[in-house]
Structure 1
């Protein structure tokens, strides 16, 4: 198989909890690298339906890997915005 050229780099910032979720998924699925895992998650996400569509004025920080349900479970006394 010919080596796949990937000349573009994508850098994202994650919380420790988000990175742990990605890493846990990676190891459960036996993905060969973090990059491979993220590409697979992106592929699945792009193929999915019923996801959140950004409204005008939404900020990057409003989109997380773990979502509001995870945040409520981890921080039950945190008030909803």
Structure 2
């Protein structure tokens, strides 16, 4: 298991269905904690999409769930690696 210093806290709100899906996945994969399961799901999702790290100077408003006609950060190759 990595010994990375985890000094940052991320809080998210989930629906009951979303939480149930994460918990079901966690128990099926025998993950030690909910946090470990969420980190693993994030890692897998980012890896599957080919993401590494966001580039320097990338702002959170450049990332979104719904395309509003603006720039799509996920398709901009310059944002994928710093």
The TM-score normalised by the length of structure 1 is 0.58
Does residue 27 (structure 1) correspond to residue 24 (structure 2)? The answer is no
Residue 67 of structure 2 aligns with which residue?
Answer: 55
The alignment's C-alpha RMSD in Å is 2.5
**Runs of 4+ in structure 1 displaced over 2 angstroms?**
1-4
Q: Distance in 1 between matches of 2:2 and 2:67?
A: 41
TM-score scaled by length of structure 2: 0.58
Greater RCO, 1 or 2 (C-alpha within 8 Å, sep 6+): 1
Separation of aligned partners in 2, 1:37 and 1:11: 14
* Count of aligned positions: 55
Structure 1 stretches lacking a partner, 5+ long = 58-81
